[in-house]
Amino acid sequence: MTRWPPILAGVAALLLWQGAVWASGVPAYLVPGPLAIVRAFLDAPALLLGSLLSTLVVTFTALAVSTGLGVGLAVAITASRWARAAIQPWAVALQVTPVVAIAPLIIAWVGDPFTALVACATIVAFFPIFSNTAIGLASPPGELLDLFRLNGAGRWATLRLLRLPAALPYFLAGLRISGGLALVGAVVAEFVAGAGGFASGLAYRILESGYRLQIPRMFAALVLLSAAGIAINAVLGAAGTWLLRRRGEA
C-alpha cells in the first residue's frame, strides 16, 4: 500500500509541530500550532470560505479564458506559418515576464478589479495550454496526413478529424499544469491588488491577517489555498484520465 505512508508522515509532522509549540511555549503570533489554526478557521469559516470562493472564481475564469485563448492560438499557429511567426515570440515573451512585475500595471490600466485579476491569472496560466496544444496539433505522423490528403480532406476536416483529437492528451496535460498556475496567478494578482484595497480573495485575507497579527488565521487561509491547489490538480488529472480511458487510450 502506497496510500498510507504520506498520510502517516503528515499526521506525525502535525503531532510533532503541535508538541513543539506546546513544549516551547512560543506565542501564537509567531508560530501557531495546528490546533490554533483549526480554531482560527472555525472562528470565521464564512469569511475564509467566502474568500476562497472569490479566489476560485478568478482562478476558473482565468482557466477558461486560457483554454479558449490557448487552443485558439495553437490552432492559428498550426494553420498558418504567418500566424506562427507573429504569435510565437510574443507568447514566449509574455510567459517569461514575471507576473508580479506587470500586475500593478494591469491593475492600474484595467478599471474593473475582477477583470484585472483574471487578466493577471490568465497571463500565468495561458502558456502550458497553448504550447502543449500546439505540440499535440503537430503530432500526427506524416503518413496519416498523407492518408487524409489522398482522400481529398481539406484543412478543416484534417483539423477536426485528425489534429484536434490527436492533441487531446497533450491539451489535458497542459490544462492540469495551467490549473495550478491559474491559482498561483490569481493569488499573486490579489496580493498586488490587495495593497490597493479592493480585493476579497484569500491572498487579501493573508495580507490582512498579517497586518493585524492574526497569524493563526493567516495560516488557515494558507492551508485553504494549498488544499484548493491540490484539489484542482487532482480533479483535472482525474477528468483527463477518465476522458482518455473513454477513448480507449489510457
Partner 1 sequence: MSLLRIARVGRRFATGTEALRDASLEIAAGDFVALLGPSGCGKSTLLRLIAGLDAPDSGFLAWGDGAPAPGEIGFVFQDATLLPWATAAENVFLPLRLRGMAWAAARAEVDAALARVGLAGFAGARPRELSGGMRMRVSIARALVGRPRLLLMDEPFAALDEFTRHALQDDMLALWRDARCTVVFVTHSIYEASFLARRIVVMTPRPGRIACEIASPLPPAPAARFSPEYAALVGRVSGVLRAEMA
The residue ranges that bind partner 1 (CB under 8 A) are: 141, 143-144, 146-153, 157, 161-162, 165, 168, 247-249
Give burial (CB, 10 Å; 0-12/13-18/19+) of 218: buried
Give me the least distance between CB of 164 and partner 1, in Å please.
11
Distance of closest approach, residue 241 Cβ to partner 1, in angstroms: 14
- Residue 98 vs 248, nearer CB to partner 1: 248
Nearest distance from C-beta of residue 156 to partner 1, angstroms: 11
Q: How far is the CB of 146 from partner 1 (least distance, A)?
A: 5
Residue number, 26 or 147, with CB nearest to partner 1: 147
Alpha helices (H) along 138-163: 142-150, 155-158
Q: Which of 101/150 has CB closer to partner 1?
A: 150
Tell me which amino acid residue 216 is.
Answer: P
Beta carbon nearer to partner 1, 110 or 135: 135
Residue 140 has what DSSP assignment? S
Asked if 89 and 213 touch (Cβ cutoff 8 Å), the reply is no
Helices then strands, counting H and E runs in the chain, come out as 11, 0
